[in-house]
Amino acid sequence: MHRRAFLAWGGLTAIGSAFPVSGAAKNVAAASVNTNTTTPSDSYRAINLTTKPGKVNIVGPDFPATDVWGFNGQVPGTAIRLQHGQTLKATVNNALDVPTAVHWHGIRLPNAMDGVAGLTQPAIQPGESFQYEFTPPDAGTYWYHSHVNAYEQVGRGLYGPLIIEEAESPQVDRDLVWMIDDWRLLEDASIRNDFAAGHDVSHAGRIGNVPTVNGRFRDIVKVRTGERIRLRVINASNARNFALSFGELMPTVIAIDGQAIKPYTASDSITIGAAGRVDLIIDMQGEPGSSMAVVDSFYSDAFDLTKFVYEKTPLRHHVLDGPIGLAAATIPEPDLSNAIKQEVVIAGGAMGGLQQAKLDGKWLSLREIAQQGYVWAINDVVGHKPAMPPLIDTKKDTSVILTIRNETAFPHPMHLHGHHMKLLSVDGNALSNPYWVDSPLLMPRQTMEFAFVADNPGEWLFHCHVLEHHAAGLGALVRIA
Ligand SMILES: [Cu+2]
């Protein structure tokens, strides 16, 4: 592999099929996320997560290891798997020299455990610890990540998978987790230290030059003909959205953002916005000894994200045909006929046409706002600190219909903490099978309508998960009393 291979998109595309198989083969074991070995009791699982610097060989053996910040020094951080109904007791020890906190993304947990420093807890100072304890109410695919200066801390690697296993799950040969990410690396494979750079903040966010699966660039995934895989894809990027194609394999999508959906066959690419998750069932049907790239095509330059390499011996000669659907989550159904309605207009950024917005209650021009580092607004309000007047202020158990309009030139994955929202319609077209989401991706000029029951008391963040956008004002507060 050439040194410049990962420095430019053109380079990636040009040598898209030139996988260094010999070098990559040695990475295969590392590519499956390390599973925590703490002994679980029946009722809870205790785990220690230390945020600390580490070294990870992201680009491969021909390059120096990259200095990262990781949970237990790893990227991805320690994989946490719980049985549905088990309690997680996670002790987070901060061995960095900056404050941190941990958000459990997509889990409907008590507000005090949500990990938003300055809102739900004080930041965990260097040398200090914080004990998180909660019982996830829903099975599914989630993740955890830093929620302090996330544009830098997540960008340096502070994230890991959080899997809540169903009591009864589809019969598969393997349950794989892919945490997909991209990194902005210099030629020596070190992280480029330009977090929240002005152009990223006002455009598409920090898009990197090295896409990875489980912290590895251009790894391979060994598979066997006839094998049935459950693939849990988690997008841990600061800003990059993915649209993955699995060629003729045509996976079945069984869950989105952790929650069961009516299974459907993906004949087209599968979009996974930043912070989003999909669960897929894939029957490996290629010839023994063959290989096949998994291609991303979200942006104009398509590239190979990773590659399936079939072993010479088939696992079986037919496709498994057991049931693959998941049980629906028991999330309260919103009462649409008796709901409060809230419009949300996302504005700002480059080419967005925003003229003025309110910062600390004062109307300011976009130029004045930008001088303070902000360029985005929700309903003309710049979200610039956790404690601010709420976008929604309602009583517990109120049904809410949320209509979000993206009036900007960029996609925004909008994350609501502490809840899932049911996606009802896109650009006015009602979905025939509405489904639950926590991080829906709104494309430029797109409008989506959601509904949820505000059943979880507390002050919750609602923000764009392009982490640079959030840092520059694209966030609001939802207060439930
Ligand atoms: Cu955004």
Contact 188, 239 (CB under 8 A): no
What is the whole-number distance in angstroms between the Cα of residue 167 and the centre of ligand 1? 36
What is the whole-number distance in angstroms between the Cα of residue 411 and the centre of ligand 1? 6
pLDDT tens-place string over residues 369-387: 999 999 999 999 999 876 6
What is the whole-number distance in angstroms between the Cα of residue 377 and the centre of ligand 1? 10
What is the whole-number distance in angstroms between the Cα of residue 263 and the centre of ligand 1? 29
pLDDT tens-place string over residues 333-366: 999 999 999 999 999 999 998 999 999 889 999 9
Give Cβ neighbours of residue 262 (< 8 Å, ≥ 6 apart).
325, 433, 435
What is the whole-number distance in angstroms between the Cα of residue 349 and the centre of ligand 1? 9
Average pLDDT of 109-113?
Answer: 98
Question: What is residue 32's predicted lDDT score, i.e. its pLDDT?
Answer: 42
What is the whole-number distance in angstroms between the Cα of residue 391 and the centre of ligand 1? 17
pLDDT tens-place string over residues 58-107: 998 899 999 999 999 999 999 999 999 999 999 999 999 999 999 999 99
What is the whole-number distance in angstroms between the Cα of residue 24 and the centre of ligand 1? 34
What is the whole-number distance in angstroms between the Cα of residue 26 and the centre of ligand 1? 37
Question: What is residue 385's predicted lDDT score, i.e. its pLDDT?
Answer: 74
What is the whole-number distance in angstroms between the Cα of residue 470 and the centre of ligand 1? 7
What is the whole-number distance in angstroms between the Cα of residue 350 and the centre of ligand 1? 12
Nearest-angstrom CA–CA distance, 141 and 419: 15
Give the single-character DSSP code of 79.
Answer: B
Average pLDDT of 403-422?
Answer: 98
389: preceding bond cis by omega (within 30 degrees): no
What is the whole-number distance in angstroms between the Cα of residue 135 and the centre of ligand 1? 30
What is the whole-number distance in angstroms between the Cα of residue 469 and the centre of ligand 1? 5
Written as six digits, the tokens of 238 are 């600061």
Question: What is residue 386's predicted lDDT score, i.e. its pLDDT?
Answer: 63
What is the whole-number distance in angstroms between the Cα of residue 237 and the centre of ligand 1? 13
How many C-alpha atoms does 77 have within 13 Å on its Cβ side? 32
Whether residue 151 has pLDDT greater than 90: yes
Question: What is residue 27's predicted lDDT score, i.e. its pLDDT?
Answer: 36
Question: What is residue 41's predicted lDDT score, i.e. its pLDDT?
Answer: 61
What is the whole-number distance in angstroms between the Cα of residue 310 and the centre of ligand 1? 38
Written as six digits, the tokens of 216 are 């590895």
Nearest to 78 by CA among 158, 196, 197, 165: 158
Percent of the chain with pLDDT over 70: 91
What is the CB neighbour count within 10 angstroms for residue 8?
Answer: 12
Question: What is residue 17's predicted lDDT score, i.e. its pLDDT?
Answer: 33
Partners of 233 in beta bridges = 178, 278
Q: Which residue has the tokens 């797109």?
A: 446
Question: What is residue 187's predicted lDDT score, i.e. its pLDDT?
Answer: 95
What is the whole-number distance in angstroms between the Cα of residue 155 and the centre of ligand 1? 16
What is the whole-number distance in angstroms between the Cα of residue 443 and the centre of ligand 1? 10
What is the whole-number distance in angstroms between the Cα of residue 441 and the centre of ligand 1? 9
What is the whole-number distance in angstroms between the Cα of residue 473 and the centre of ligand 1? 9
What is the whole-number distance in angstroms between the Cα of residue 34 and the centre of ligand 1? 31
What is the whole-number distance in angstroms between the Cα of residue 232 and the centre of ligand 1? 24
What is the whole-number distance in angstroms between the Cα of residue 413 and the centre of ligand 1? 6
What is the whole-number distance in angstroms between the Cα of residue 452 and the centre of ligand 1? 21
Domains of the chain, each with CATH number or no CATH: 3-310 (2.60.40.420), 336-480 (2.60.40.420)
What is the whole-number distance in angstroms between the Cα of residue 154 and the centre of ligand 1? 16
Give Cβ neighbours of residue 47 (< 8 Å, ≥ 6 apart).
36, 38, 78, 80, 88, 89, 90, 91
What is the whole-number distance in angstroms between the Cα of residue 464 and the centre of ligand 1? 5
What is the whole-number distance in angstroms between the Cα of residue 186 and the centre of ligand 1? 25
What is the whole-number distance in angstroms between the Cα of residue 351 and the centre of ligand 1? 14
Question: What is residue 18's predicted lDDT score, i.e. its pLDDT?
Answer: 33
Nearest to 109 by CA among 121, 95, 118, 98: 121
What is the whole-number distance in angstroms between the Cα of residue 198 and the centre of ligand 1? 14
Lowest mean pLDDT among 6-20, 157-171, 286-300, 453-467: 6-20
What is the whole-number distance in angstroms between the Cα of residue 205 and the centre of ligand 1? 8
In DSSP notation, 286-332 reads SPTT-EEEEEE-SSSS-EEEEEEEE-SS-S-SS---S----PPP-PP
Residue 329: pLDDT band with limits 50, 70, 90: confident
What is the whole-number distance in angstroms between the Cα of residue 354 and the centre of ligand 1? 15
Nearest-angstrom CA–CA distance, 234 and 11: 25
Whether residue 367 has pLDDT greater than 80: yes
Q: What is the pTM of this model?
A: 0.93
Question: What is residue 25's predicted lDDT score, i.e. its pLDDT?
Answer: 33
